Amino acid sequence: AQSVTQLDSQVPVFEEAPVELRCNYSSSVSVYLFWYVQYPNQGLQLLLKYLSGSTLVKGINGFEAEFNKSQTSFHLRKPSVHISDTAEYFCAVRFSGAGSYQLTFGKGTKLSVIP
Amino acid sequence: NAGVTQTPKFRVLKTGQSMTLLCAQDMNHEYMYWYRQDPGMGLRLIHYSVGEGTTAKGEVPDGYNVSRLKKQNFLLGLESAAPSQTSVYFCASSSIAGGAKNIQYFGAGTRLSVL
């Protein structure tokens, strides 16, 4: 079984500063990794995903994440945040085997961008 | 592009009342899921369906029932609501394609309060 740990429940950051949201996973098999974003009072939107290939993945709104297999991490980064990035961010993992479809989510990180 | 639509958006119930949450998707997806989201808990899978007429239990199925009579609809029922079921409920769907193509798309959520 896989599990996901988001190391920070809340991250405050000043506008235009860089941010990193940390995600570690545990799994005995190969996985796919995802970051979802949830804006206030909205549903979840896929931000980016790692499926295979380059370990640096670029997503929407200037976010990127790097898959590190040796450290079993998939940290999310943005070089300069905006007020509109205030949201909750969820890391998720899925077993990469044929027929796999269930996502396991982390508990979420609330990003607050301070003007 | 409607995607995944959930109704209702908000609901208040009294303990012991029953209700049904409706999820509809227009992407011809085979797989559908119901999650609940609680503060600090991330998303937890309640039930899921891998096709019309089939359902299965997820991580937290107690107190809920589901039905998938039509491919595009996935209903979540609460027969006798309890305060512990106060939560935000999300529906998601994904295609039958295995591996990298199986991406979950989420609805906007239903906010349920049980008094």
Per-residue pLDDT 10s for chain A (115 aa) are 678 999 999 999 999 999 999 999 988 778 899 999 999 888 899 999 998 888 899 999 999 999 998 899 999 999 999 999 999 999 999 877 666 778 889 999 999 999 9
Return the CATH number at A84. Answer: 2.60.40.10
Query: Residue B107 is nearest to which of A4, A43, A102, comparing CB atoms?
Result: A43
Interchain contact A17–B (C-beta under 8 A): no
Residues 96..115 of A with a Cβ closer than 8 Å to B: which? 96, 98-103, 105-108
Backbone φ and ψ of B33, nearest 5°: -140, 150
Domain residues for A78?
A: 3-114
Give residue A103's pLDDT: 87
Query: How many interchain CB pairs under 8 A, A with B?
Result: 56
Give me the sign of the Cα torsion angle B57, B100, B53, A43: positive
Per domain, the residue ranges of chain B are: 4-96
> Cα separation of A22 and B103, whole Å?
22
Contacts of A98 in chain B (CB under 8 A): 98-99
Superfamily of domain B4-96: Immunoglobulins (2.60.40.10)
pLDDT tens track for B74-114: 999 999 999 999 999 999 999 876 666 678 899 999 999 99
Q: Which chain A residue shows the shortest CA-CA distance from B41?
A: A107
> Cα separation of B46 and B44, whole Å?
6
CA-wise closest residue to B112 among B36, B34, B3, B5: B36
How many independent structural domains does chain A possess? 1
